[in-house]
Structure 1
Amino acid sequence: MAAEAGVDLVSFPVSLPWPGPGKEIDWSGVDAQCRTVIEANPNALLLPRIGLGAPQWWREAHPDDVMVWDRGPQKHVDVDVASPVYLHDAAERLSALVEHLEAKFGQQIAGYHPCGQNTGEWFYQETWGPALNGYSAASRQAWRRWLKARYAGDERLQAAWNDPRARLEAAEVPSPAVRRSSPAGVLRDPASERALIDFAEFQQETMADCVCHFARAVRQATKGQKLVVFFYGYVFEFAAVHNGPSTSGHYALRRVLDCPDIDVLCSPISYFDRGLGESAPAMTAAESVALAGKMWLYEDDTSTYLSTGTLPGSRERVLTVEESSAQLVRNTAQCALRNFGTWWMDLGATAWFEDRRMWAEMARLKVLDEPLLKTPVPFRPEVAAVIDESSMIRVAFGGEQVTRPGVYEVRRSLGRMGTAYGQYLLDDAAAERVDAKMHVLLTAWCLSPERRRQLLESTRGSLRIWCYAPGYQEPGHSNPEAMRELTGFRLPAVSPAKAWAEPSEAGKRLGMTSGFGVDHPVKPLFAAVDASPAETLATYPDGSAAVAIRQTADGWSLFVGPPGLTPELLRLAARKAGVHLFTDRDCNVCSSGPFLVLHASQDGPLTVNTGRTDAVVDLLSGNRLGNGPTIRLPMKRGETRVLRYLALKRE
């Protein structure tokens, strides 16, 4: 069916022959897997998905190079990516496989997709579970090498860790008890918990270096002629991990983006807010991926009406082909506007997409794809959601009480605010690579003095939303004065009964109706004590200013202390920033150039402000809907409309 719709790129798993010592390599299984695809579609372009887990005989021969957790039993047994022996042997096997496939099927191979660790996506096994990894001999040895490269000598290590007993040659991985403690609250204290911050950074770099190592092996084996694809960089998604985001190993995205041997990074569509009437957000800082000259790709494993089982995303399973198509059109159209790639993934391998009516939607979307391929339009939304990797690795055990609503779930509000948004790394924003009218600075919590200066300079003139604890830390210590420097507010710590904000009279006048935050205390938590009543948009239960806005010489500054944001607060800010809002009520919106994608989050007529007087056409039906700047559309929750503006002919 895919071939009938003109879809020839096929991602499929192939086995990695890894024979024991003295045994011959048997390529017959791999060859058969490739031939099966080609027989189904002689025009297929192959993208083999190659699992790099070591076989049992190898793990038994190298017990020091197998992952060890602090508790068991575990669902999976896997190699430790910190092991130089594993990296060497797996790269050797990977290179041999690629060279064989190039010789046998090279003309039909588009690229290679090496996979490993949890679900093949290069985050540490058991990331979402209760156990902590890092206790193998290979990890301990790699940790000591990392520390030696970082500190060079014992004296520097002792000063950084504030521990006169610390020795490079005897350094142990922090104990499970210490890793599960959070004495300073949500964020690690850089003065007393530096060893934990270092270990978190070590685990990110180790995973990223593993990815880059295998990418280099593929690049060399293909002589640079084929695409190299990897899962990596889920910097928004792992904000919901209870053990802390750094447990994943995905917070060295910049390191991977700097790797010249990777062409495409990918992930599933987020497993949050992906259902009917929802936004289907990206797991990563996708626009930073594009700025680095790489493509982000959505693996669309939507649970269609034909899906079965209880796999991830199954709770969002729909009941009809029409509902399935509405989601698939939403996802694919958004990918087109954001310049993503996409493939449809039959996650259960049980014919989730075996309905020609769904594939007909893919064919219909050529009217969107082809103009964008002919005349590419960079995706440059007026709103930028910005995340900082170095701040995220400082989130302590249990810190998801802030990062779940403030990073993971905030994508729902961003998607519903009525205009498009992009997802960026903070270093891109600080380097003046992000041109936006409104910067939503989600995790600007640990910034050096130089980075603060760069960020303020690069975002001058835009509205800045400072979330939770802006500038609270520098790399080696906390600095409350830096918070005032960034935001223009004095932000001392406060201790209300819960980190919850209710709109003030000033907030209500500007359109705020709903409270937000979390229904329990959070440590640390900050309030804008010098905000005037007119500047205070919402307050904590103790009456202190939880949300405050001020016009400074550099532009509007909006401080938001409790974790999370609401669509109406974002719309309030967008109006102050001069951002164009397509809708004044909740609706999932994506736009770029002459195209606008709407996915209704509620029933009822939707008034759309196109911001231009051009004719508005339903791209998929060809029907003319009226002329801008304002049109009114009947919409049902979960309905998707793809619109295009056409300049009116002048007589």
Structure 2
Amino acid sequence: MMKLPGILFLFFCGHLLVAQSTQSAEVKPHNGRPTLFVNGKAQTPAFYALTHAYGGRWSWEEVPARNLNNFCQIGFRLFQVDLWLEDIWYKNADSLDIRKAQRQIRGVLDQCPEAGVVLRIHVNAPFWWNKAHPEECTQYADTAVDTTLLAGPPYHNEEHDIHAALRASLASTRWRQESGQKLVELCRKLSKTPEGNALIGMHVAGGIYGEWHYWGFIEHDPDTGPAMTTYFRNWLKTKYKTVSALRKAWQSASADFDNATVPNVAERLKTQDGFFKDPVQDQRTIDYFTAQQQVVADDAIYFCRLAKENWPRPLVTGIFYGYLHMTFNRQTVGGHLFIQQVLDSPYIDYLSAPQTYWPDSRKAGGSGNSRGIIESTLLHGKLWFDEIDNGYLFKNDFENIRYTSRYDTTYANIMKRCALLPLMRGIGFWFYDFGPQKGFGWWDDPKYLAAMKAEKELFEKRLTVPYHSEADVLYVWSQDVFYYLKSAPLPITVNVLDHSIEQAMRSGAVGDHVYDFDLDRVNLKPYKAVVFMNVYKLTDAQRTFILNKVAKDGRTLVWNYLTGYTNGERLDLSFVKSLTGLNLERIDGSQVPGVSFLKPAYNYKFSGPVEPLVVVNDKTAEPLAELQTSKQVISARKKMSGFTSVFCGLPLNGTEGFRAIFRQAGCHIYNERNDFTYANSGLLLLHTKDGGPRTIRLKSGKSVTLSLERGSTLLLDVQTGDLVLK
């Protein structure tokens, strides 16, 4: 009995020693995919993360601590916690007080001594700093800054980020320098502490909700303030070099580097050709949006570089960036258009985003799609992490959210889909738990935890399995196109980016997704169909590459609306004609168009007029769809030399239409029933809303007959159809 205290002492000291052993991390290639390594060992990229919201964010408090321990007990060793510079950078203080940073990490280690911790550090200026430096803050083209919008204790730190709030301009040199100095100070101080030894990464957060969206962008038009104006003028000097070049580009006899201003709302919304901005007449606005996009990307890269260079051991750095889906039709104002530059940065190891909020994608039967373009991210050697933050149940629709701690079978299967899909795609996720702010963890239930344990254990075993895409459809996407589109909700944007792609992903065919700038990196051989989803802008070189390298080997190329309508220098329908090989004719687009797909027969309609509107006037082409009122051919297929051309004068809608086109192209259809079906690296994921009998046709030639429960998720062997995980 006298030895018991000593045993306990050694036990706790042992945990303390483990917790204080230094950890390092990196992302490097492994079995054909970017992989997270901690202390030289490959990891299943699955994290548990506490919320940033008050009531649930501090790791040492009772409910968060319980949930950290829950996930430690089921085998999770990777964790993420939030910290704001606001928490440790006090007004009139000469240096940071990092005790909260230490305590935040220590709270994780108290529950899981072997944890590797990623610190989500919000580098936004503290609210006292914004008040002290209003000249460095964002101003809005459509409204005045509202200084009555309070944030910080007792309000959430991100309170009113989406409104016209007082926030340091993302173009402010002073903010960037001073916050950068504080990030360096944090790295140097924290790295010398026992808690710092457990740090494996920094998730650098900034802008709205930490997601590098520009302040107020959903409803307002930033940034007309002095900081952005100065940045814009310097940006123009770098681009144009001479005043004469600037005046020629802007078609202005008075433009000057010293008097250039940020465009107002009317200028931003002006278009010359329906939805499209004309590069000849609208270059000033295009330049501004490009400059605004660049400064945000440069900020994120800058802070990640500081973190890497000032941490004494290798650590991973990541950001929220690369959103394409569910970006509120305001991509130019607050989106992530500098994605190519970010993907090429050596200072960023991973990108991330919450899984799409599109209702049909999130709820039962949906794909749970990532908001970014995953296969392009992998091509650049970066990891992607999905943030799984849907710890709520869908009852009737997306808005009717009921928080609950009661186990629900349908919800459990949604969560299973949310976790399995990213791991199958060669990326990772973190469960982002808002539950503790409600008094309980969203997943604080033995059944949820048991399922999560089984999923993680399965993919730990599969770390040795080489990554191999099973896709024979390639979806091609563009971010640059938004510079040339009206920066407002359009009938084609949300339709293509969210609604239409969700329907395509339930066609039973499996697809990969890349950006247009990565087409020359892709091994095109496996793809029987290439769908240009929103690629209305192509350079002359890109167009030539597509015609010479993609439009061959018997592939079907689907031109979804006006592919390549601009080359960045002018708008020209002849660009589209040269790609499609069809005779196209422009018609009046003032009426709301409806489409009748012919075989299979179904109808769909858009939310408003679409302009420009183009129909097919080509008797050598096979009609696929027509306008409901005029019966003019709106979509058609034409056999060309070496490839088949499918032109859709309006974006294609309808799972049945996608399936018919993919089948004709020779793509493999696993499932005819509009469930979400996905295959990768030897596994087949099946997620259904309605359940019932299913026949799954495998590429091996085998057919598997299943009786699915309502709202179920199954994981099968893609070759045999054997059940891998129920």
Q: TM-score, length-normalised on structure 2? A: 0.81
One of 60, 74, 80 as aligned partner of 2:169? 80
For residues 224 and 157 of structure 1, what CA distance do their matches in structure 2 show?
46
Equivalent residues of 1:19, 1:25 under 8 A apart: yes
Where does structure 1 lack aligned partners over 5 or more consecutive residues?
Answer: 614-628
1:641 is matched with 714
What residue identity is the alignment partner of 1:197? I
Cα distance change of structure 1 residues 218 and 413 upon mapping to structure 2, 3 Å threshold: same
Unaligned runs of 5+ in 2: 1-69, 150-159
Q: How much has 1:483 moved relative to structure 2?
A: 0.9
Counterpart in 2 of 1:620?
none
- Name which of 570, 592, 597 aligns with 1:498: 592
Deviation at 1:19, TM superposition (A): 3.5
2:96·2:182 contact (CA, 8 Å) conserved in 1? no
Secondary structure in structure 2 of the residue aligned to 1:608? strand
1:67 maps to: 138
Please name the residue that 1:269 is paired with. Answer: 355
Task: Tell whether the 8 Å contact from 1:285 to 1:425 is kept in structure 2 after alignment.
Answer: yes
Deviation at 1:604, TM superposition (A): 2.3
**Counterpart pick for 1:337 among 424, 440, 451:** 424
Partners of 2:630 and 2:347 lie apart in 1 by 54
Structure 1 position 225 matched with structure 2 position 314: yes
Give the SS at the match of 1:334.
helix
What do the CA deviations read for 1:518-537 (whole angstroms, capped 9, x no partner)? 04321111111115573343
Q: Deviations over 1:444-472 (max 9, x none)?
A: 21222211001222312321111111121
Paired residue secondary structure (1:103): coil
Match of 2:127, as an amino acid?
Q
Query: Corresponding residue for 2:346?
Result: 260
81 and 637 in structure 1: CA distance in 2 versus 1, 3 angstrom threshold? same
C-alpha distance in structure 1 between counterparts of 2:508 and 2:492, whole Å: 25
1:579 aligns with 2:667: yes
Q: State the alpha-carbon separation in 2 of the partners of residues 194 and 315 from structure 1.
A: 44
Q: Is the 8 A contact 2:270 2:277 kept in 1?
A: no
**2:302 aligned partner:** 213
Equivalent of 2:477, from 379, 387, 393? 387
Cα 1:644–1:225 shift into 2, 3 Å: same
C-alpha distance in 2, partners of 1:46/1:330? 25
**Contact between 2:332 and 2:483, CA under 8 Å: does it hold in 1?**
yes
Equivalence for 2:567 = 474
Per-residue CA deviations over 1:16-75 (Å, capped at 9, x if unaligned) read: 222345534322222211111111221221111111111233223322211111315463
How do 1:581-596 residues align onto structure 2 when only pairs under 5 Å count? 581-596=669-684
In structure 2, the residue corresponding to 1:535 is in which secondary structure?
strand
Aligned residue number for residue 403 of structure 1: 493
2:73 partner letter: E
Question: CA–CA distance in 1 between the matches of 2:331 and 2:619?
Answer: 33
The reply to whether residue 514 of structure 1 matches residue 586 of structure 2 is: no
Structure 2 equivalent of residue 463 of structure 1: 556
Q: Which residue of 1 aligns with 2:243?
A: 154
Letter in 1 for 2:703: T
Question: Distance between the aligned counterparts of 1:360 and 1:216, measured in 2?
Answer: 39
For 2:449, the equivalent position in structure 1 comes to 359
Letter in 1 for 2:650: P
Amino acid at match of 2:694: L
Matched residue, 1:43: 114
Which runs of structure 2 are paired with 1:566-645 in the superposition (5 Å)? 566-612=654-700, 629-645=702-718
Q: Is the 8 A contact 1:439 1:463 kept in 2?
A: yes
- Kindly state the Cα deviation for residue 251 of structure 1 after the two structures are TM-superposed: 0.9
1:47 partner amino acid: V
Return the match for 2:623 from 522, 535, 543: 535
Is the contact between residue 588 and residue 601 of structure 1 (CA under 8 Å) also seen in structure 2? no
Instruction: Give the one of 172, 175, 187 matched to 1:98.
Output: 187
Read off the aligned partner of 1:25 and give its amino acid letter.
Answer: L
Asked if 1:187 is matched to 2:276, the reply is yes
**Structure 1 contact 468–563 (Cα < 8 Å) conserved:** yes
Shift of 1:213: 0.6
How far does the alpha carbon of each residue in 1:227-262 deviate from its partner, in whole angstroms, 9 at most, with x for none?
101100102222x32xx3211141111110010011
Matches of 1:533 and 1:422, distance apart in 2 = 28
Matched, 1:144 2:217: no
1:450 equivalent to 2:544? Answer no
Q: What is the identity, as a one-letter code, of the residue corresponding to 1:454?
A: F
Offset, 1:154: 1.6
Does residue 523 of the first structure (1) align with residue 611 of the second (2)? Answer: yes
Is the contact between residue 637 and residue 644 of structure 2 (CA under 8 Å) also seen in structure 1?
Answer: yes
CA distance in 2, matches of 1:328, 1:222: 35
- Residue 639 of structure 1 and its aligned partner are, at CA, apart by 0.9
Q: Does the 8 Å CA contact 1:127/1:247 hold for their aligned counterparts? A: yes
Number of the residue aligned with 1:617? none
Return closer, same or farther for 1:24/1:585 CA change in 2, 3 Å cut-off. closer
CA distance in 2, matches of 1:108, 1:294: 23
Structure 1 counterpart of 2:82: 13
Partners of 1:141 and 1:58 lie apart in 2 by: 20
Deviations, residues 513-567 of structure 1 (Å, cap 9, x unaligned): 2222404321111111115573343335222211111111131111112234221
Secondary structure at the residue paired with 1:91? helix
- Equivalenced residue count is 621
